[in-house]
Structure 1
Amino acid sequence: MIDGRGSFKSLCCATVIIGYHSDRTEHMITDLIAGQDNDTTIVLLATSADVIVPEGVRFVRADRLDTLETLKRAAVEHAEKVIVYTDSDAETFNTCLAIRELSPNVHVAAYFGDRDTAHRATKLAHVEAVVSRATETLVRAAQDPGASRVIMALSSATHNATVYSGILEGSCAHQTADIEHLLSAKDAVLLAISQEGDDDAVFKPFPQTIPSGTTLYYVAKKRFESNAWHQLMEKLNAEVLA
């Protein structure tokens, strides 16, 4: 197990990180834990033996990352979410296809350096492809001094405020003003929305009403825990009925 040759096939609801980078993976794990999204069971899958495994993280070592047997050993079959960040776009793409074959519904976030490959992965493997935006961030920093610090802060749960998401619950559409008011009362700000099937997020000006099932992206000091989010939604629905 210490050498990464064990198996976690029976493990359920884990967060699986596929691929290892000595300068990034440990920070990624720290950010996952700080994000307060129940990432208490983390499995790291890598091909290298020279891996620094943070305390409490399970480690799986394999010769390849994109085989079904390897992914099963790393608890992907019954995972809650998977992050794929390998050494190449080709390996990431093949791994995403294998994950989707093994688990059709698990949420997968995958890093790609090439936009075309990311687009194909989104279309064929139905993953959330993250493409490097270093150049965009650099331009923002040049044109709007300090913008890069804001972008980085919004991306990391270890900073003062971060972008989180939640699903708008209920059986009917809700007034956008009511949603913003409730979030504001909890020191949160509605940043963007995304309806199911949409590739892009929508920023202000928002539509006057937002249908149930829409993903709300909000900025806050910490994530609304499950019970707190449900209570917020119940209050919103109660105001609609009133």
Structure 2
Amino acid sequence: MKLALIFDRAFHAMADMHWRMLAGLILFHALSSWLLLAMAGESALQPPAVFFYWYATTAYTVGYGDLSPQGVAGRLITAVWIFPGAIAAFTTVVAKVLAGIGDIWRVRRSGKGDYSKMTDTILLVGYHPARTPKMVDELCAEFRGGQTLVLLTRQSATELDSRIRYVQSESLTSTAALARAGVANASRVLVYASSDADTLAATLAVAAAAPETAHIVCFFEDADNARLLAQHCPKVEAILSSGPEMLARAARDPGASQVITALTSHLDEGATLFSLTWQGAARPIGDLAQRLWGLRATLLAHQPTGAASPRFNPPRETGVEAGDRIFYVAAERLDQFGLEGS
């Protein structure tokens, strides 16, 4: 009974050790085992590679039986010293690894994970139970797992989406929470809070912490909030609710709402609206429109660098300069090289 108590206390003491201390004890036990077997005259187990193989199979409890001590002294040393120590070391390492994995899982599930080291992420700020999952579906369909999605929200998640990383904070403007969510390295940030006031505050916080190259998009119900944001963060793209306008358009032009919805969704089959920032040499937009037509795509609009809004149906002779953005409708996203082809 006392022996079992001693082993139990020893096991828990090893489990609470740091990795360096545990590695030192394992090394000490292996070296002392090798020396004891040498003193016992077990010459077959003395070569370092042979001893390592035998010691590892002993610790892993595999026990192939191809190597074993031959003398009485060597067998006693193995039974009393090597077996308990090697097996205890192996089980302790396994226990610590599993405990570490469990701690990481619990931290991430509670929203306390740290994703500040990740790069080129897509950060979603705020959560709407019906609309946020749809945004996740759209982003995953577009990027197909190529970028990591991180969600910063005030709500405690009960059912986590395996496609996103989760950060919980009492405030969407918290500098620490935004840092843990990886805002400093994000390539895109989508802000969709429960109210326009929260969206405005969160967007201002994001704009202050995100890199210059990050594309920030936010959603407002009220145009006044969008105008207020534009005064402080002109580079942020604000999306306004188009419910009344969509309703009126559908009444005047039946089917218009279905077309607009299809153009904005990557989940629906058929054409989808895309944009591309032109990086090549200047060329007439008519040439690009013809090239797009050959790729089964349709040019929709052209937005010159610095322009507040895109121009629809521009004249064919309009020049497209480096940095301009073109909008087109296609079944899939096209790249610069495809458009530069003859």
> TM-score by structure 1 length?
0.90
State the AA in 1 paired with 2:195: S
Q: Check whether the contact 1:193–1:203 (CA below 8 A) recurs between aligned residues.
A: yes
Is 1:101 aligned with 2:214? Answer: no
- Aligned twin of 2:278: 168
- Aligned twin of 1:156: 265
RMSD: 1.6
State the AA in 1 paired with 2:330: A
* Structure with the higher fraction of residues in helix conformation: 2
Question: Secondary structure at the residue paired with 1:109?
Answer: strand
State the AA in 2 paired with 1:214: D
Question: Secondary structure at the residue paired with 2:217?
Answer: strand
The 1:108–1:153 alpha-carbon spacing in structure 2 relative to 1, beyond 3 Å, is same
Is 1:26 aligned with 2:133? Answer: yes
2-structure distance, mates of 1:56, 1:176: 39
- Aligned twin of 1:198: 307
Structure 1 residue 189, shift from structure 2 partner: 0.4
Runs of 4+ with >6 A deviation: none
Of 121, 125, 130, which aligns to 1:14? 121
1-structure distance, mates of 2:295, 2:171: 46
State the AA in 2 paired with 1:29: V
Structure 1 residue 38, shift from structure 2 partner: 6.7
Offset from partner CA, 1:33-79 (integer Å, 9 cap, x none): 22238753000111011454322210000000012111111111100
The 1:177–1:51 alpha-carbon spacing in structure 2 relative to 1, beyond 3 Å, is farther
Structure 1 residue 89, shift from structure 2 partner: 1.2
Of 328, 334, 337, which aligns to 1:218? 328
* Structure with the higher fraction of residues in strand conformation: 1
- Aligned twin of 1:186: 295
Among all aligned residue pairs of Structure 1 and Structure 2, give the percentage whose two residues are the same amino acid: 33
Question: Secondary structure at the residue paired with 2:239?
Answer: strand
Structure 1 residue 15, shift from structure 2 partner: 0.3
Q: Which has the larger radius of gyration?
A: 2
Question: Secondary structure at the residue paired with 1:97?
Answer: helix
Q: Check whether the contact 2:150–2:164 (CA below 8 A) recurs between aligned residues.
A: yes
1-structure distance, mates of 2:311, 2:144: 24
Q: Check whether the contact 1:112–1:131 (CA below 8 A) recurs between aligned residues.
A: yes
1-structure distance, mates of 2:274, 2:158: 30
- Aligned twin of 2:338: 232
Offset from partner CA, 1:111-148 (integer Å, 9 cap, x none): 01110111221231231000001111100110111110
Q: Check whether the contact 1:20–1:51 (CA below 8 A) recurs between aligned residues.
A: no
> TM-score by structure 2 length?
0.64
State the AA in 2 paired with 1:232: G
- Aligned twin of 2:244: 135
Question: Secondary structure at the residue paired with 1:170?
Answer: coil
State the AA in 2 paired with 1:60: V
State the AA in 2 paired with 1:13: D
**Greater relative contact order (Cα < 8 A, sep 6+):** 1
2-structure distance, mates of 1:184, 1:122: 35
Structure 2 segments unaligned to the other structure (5+ residues): 1-107
Q: May I ask how many residue pairs the two structures share in their alignment?
A: 231
1-structure distance, mates of 2:295, 2:191: 33
Structure 1 residue 182, shift from structure 2 partner: 0.6
State the AA in 2 paired with 1:110: C
Structure 1 segments unaligned to the other structure (5+ residues): none
State the AA in 2 paired with 1:180: A
Offset from partner CA, 1:190-237 (integer Å, 9 cap, x none): 01111122121110143512231210000011112xxxx2322442xx
2-structure distance, mates of 1:23, 1:38: 22
Question: Secondary structure at the residue paired with 2:184?
Answer: coil
1-structure distance, mates of 2:163, 2:262: 26
2-structure distance, mates of 1:157, 1:136: 22
1-structure distance, mates of 2:316, 2:115: 46
1-structure distance, mates of 2:308, 2:198: 24
Is 1:74 aligned with 2:185? Answer: no
